[in-house]
């Protein structure tokens, strides 16, 4: 299907939904009771999404926010409240009907918030060619929209272009655990349903890294639909456009604390648990950020850790038989590769079948934020417990 045809079909589908009130595809978790206090019903009833990127404590007062695929304006208006009257919010959308509704309600929202004037503007444009100046955005948000874009590589490049140095994104979208086959890719109806255009989690995160973003990590995920054995699920991801590191730092070494036995970061640097690794000032900046900081000890001099040190973190599987229930684990950053203490090698976005003991390990605090766990079993599984290895360890 030609790109222009896909774009027009999607635009027409959402324009029709805005006129008819059709409930679109994606799972969302808006607090409508809160939003009704300042956003008109006309906007709320045409709000589609698979997450709440503006409401996850990502928006800060006074910032400039960009919403890709702003629709009727729900996320822009929530961002408007959060940035305050000194902040600025830009929404871009390709559908005239949506833009008309959003623009009509901007002044009402500002009045409801007690602002002297609206701090939100809506621009017509495509995600692949955003009408936004270079390096002007503190935070990019988007809610179940990028999967609708035919050329996601260009979208990620545009995001990096408009973000400020030191800027970031928090976006919610639908991805899949397998490559979407051609018979779905060319299904017009399923493009509007956020299915046909879905990338695998691997390709989605790799596309952002290729554009220049780092520290890409999972904030939230939710299973959605299974079609012909393909699992589609919602993820909310955050990543950064880092400022150049300062020329000097007192920190020269990083020691991986765990719980992973080793990790590989997005720059290809490998860290082995307990072994100090010389690092650059750019590495210091990266490893100091929240998705990394809890896993590393950053020091001036090399510090070796062992399993008697309280800073060493490890989670071992129960020494007992396990069951296979159809679970698969997908590493969702901030590392591109990592291993646990039972010799499982996880690669970002790639499903790996795991047994019940590994599920329990990955649900512990040190692991849980970094994994999507899906169940591919079509029916209830009644497998018998097995011993995965002679010593009682896991698979």
Q: What is the pLDDT of residues 51-67, one digit of tens each?
A: 778 777 889 999 999 99
Token representation of residue 217: 């990590």
What mean pLDDT value characterizes the chain? 89
Q: What is the pLDDT of residue 118?
A: 98
Q: What is the pLDDT of residue 15?
A: 44
More confident residue, 149 or 364: 364
Q: What is the pLDDT of residues 348-361, one digit of tens each?
A: 999 999 999 999 99
Report the pLDDT averaged over residues 300-324.
95
Give SS3 for 103: helix
Contacts for 14 with CB less than 8 Å, ≥ 6 apart: 24, 48, 71, 95, 97, 98, 192
Asked if residue 387 has pLDDT above 90, the reply is no
CATH of 3-240, one of 1.10.3720.10, 2.60.120.260, 3.40.50.150, 3.10.129.10: 3.40.50.150
Is residue 79 within 8 A of residue 59, CB to CB? The reply is yes
Give me the phi and psi of 221, to 5 degrees please: -145, 155
Enclosing H/E stretch for 4: helix 3-20
Q: What is the pLDDT of residues 313-328, one digit of tens each?
A: 999 999 889 999 999 9
Is residue 147 within 8 A of residue 206, CB to CB? The reply is no
Q: Give the sheet arrangement for strand 337-339, strand by strand.
A: 270-272, 262-264, 337-339, 345-347
Asked if residue 29 has pLDDT above 70, the reply is no
Report the pLDDT averaged over residues 190-203.
79
Please state which CATH number belongs to domain 316-395.
3.40.5.100
Rounded Cα distance between 361 and 341, Å, is: 10
Domain boundaries, the chain: 3-240, 246-314, 316-395
Is residue 159 within 8 A of residue 151, CB to CB? The reply is no
The owner of tokens 């950020």 is: 289
Helix runs in 46-187, H state only? 74-83, 96-113, 152-162, 182-185
At CB < 8 A and 24+ separation, what contacts does 246-252 make? Answer: 246/281, 247/281, 248/281, 249/281, 249/284, 250/300, 251/279, 251/284, 251/298, 251/299, 251/300, 252/278, 252/279, 252/299, 252/300, 252/301
Percent of the chain having pLDDT more than 70? Answer: 87
Asked if residue 192 has pLDDT above 80, the reply is no
Topology match between the domains 246-314 and 316-395 = yes
Q: What is the pLDDT of residue 32?
A: 86
Rounded Cα distance between 47 and 35, Å, is: 11
C-alpha dist (Å) from residue 77 to 53, 65, 69, 271, 352: 12, 11, 13, 43, 40
Q: What is the pLDDT of residue 182?
A: 86
Asked if residue 144 has pLDDT above 70, the reply is yes
The yes/no answer on whether domain 246-314 falls in CATH 3.90.550 is no
**What's the N-to-C CA distance of the chain in angstroms?**
43
The owner of tokens 């790799």 is: 206
C-alpha dist (Å) from residue 321 to 14, 343, 357, 389: 51, 17, 8, 9
Rounded Cα distance between 86 and 332, Å, is: 35
Rounded Cα distance between 319 and 184, Å, is: 44
Contacts for 183 with CB less than 8 Å, ≥ 6 apart: none
Asked if residue 245 has pLDDT above 90, the reply is no
Asked if residue 390 has pLDDT above 50, the reply is no
Running DSSP on this structure, what letter comes out for residue 129? B
Q: What is the pLDDT of residues 154-171, one digit of tens each?
A: 999 999 999 999 999 999
């Amino acid at each position: 299907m030609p790109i222009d045809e896909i774009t027009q079909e999607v635009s027409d589908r959402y324009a029709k939904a805005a006129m008819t009130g059709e409930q679109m595809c994606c799972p969302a978790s808006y607090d409508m009771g809160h939003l009704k206090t300042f956003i008109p019903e006309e906007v709320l009833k045409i709000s589609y999404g698979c997450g709440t990127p503006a409401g996850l404590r990502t928006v800060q007062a006074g910032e400039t926010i960009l919403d890709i695929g702003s629709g009727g304006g729900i996320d822009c208006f929530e961002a408007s409240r959060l940035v305050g009257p000194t902040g600025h919010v830009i929404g871009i959308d390709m559908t005239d009907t949506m833009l008309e509704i959003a623009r009509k309600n901007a002044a009402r929202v500002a009045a409801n918030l007690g602002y002297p004037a609206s701090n939100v503007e809506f621009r017509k444009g495509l995600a692949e060619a955003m009408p936004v100046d270079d390096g002007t955005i503190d935070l990019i948000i988007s809610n179940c929209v990028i999967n609708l874009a035919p050329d996601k590589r260009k979208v990620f490049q545009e995001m990096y272009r408009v973000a400020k140095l030191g800027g970031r994104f928090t976006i919610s979208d639908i991805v899949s655990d397998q490559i979407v086959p051609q018979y779905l890719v060319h299904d017009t109806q399923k493009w509007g349903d956020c299915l046909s255009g879905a990338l695998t989690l691997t390709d989605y995160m790799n596309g952002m890294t290729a554009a220049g973003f780092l520290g890409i990590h999972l904030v939230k995920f939710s299973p959605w639909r299974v079609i012909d054995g393909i699992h589609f699920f919602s993820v909310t991801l955050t990543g950064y456009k880092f400022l150049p590191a300062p020329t000097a730092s007192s920190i020269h070494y990083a020691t991986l604390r765990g719980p992973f036995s080793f990790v590989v970061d997005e720059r290809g640097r490998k860290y082995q648990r307990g072994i100090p690794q010389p690092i650059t000032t750019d590495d210091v900046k990266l490893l100091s950020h929240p998705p990394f900081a809890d896993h590393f000890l950053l020091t001036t001099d090399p510090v070796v850790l062992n399993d008697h040190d309280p800073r060493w973190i490890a989670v071992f599987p129960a020494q007992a038989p396990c069951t296979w229930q159809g679970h698969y684990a997908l590493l969702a950053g901030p590392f591109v590769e990592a291993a646990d203490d039972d010799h499982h090698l996880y690669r970002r976005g790639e499903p790996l079948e795991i047994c019940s003991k590994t599920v329990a390990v990955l649900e512990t605090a040190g692991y849980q934020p970094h994994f999507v766990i899906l169940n591919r079993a079509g029916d209830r599984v009644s497998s018998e417990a097995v011993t995965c290895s002679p010593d009682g360890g896991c698979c």
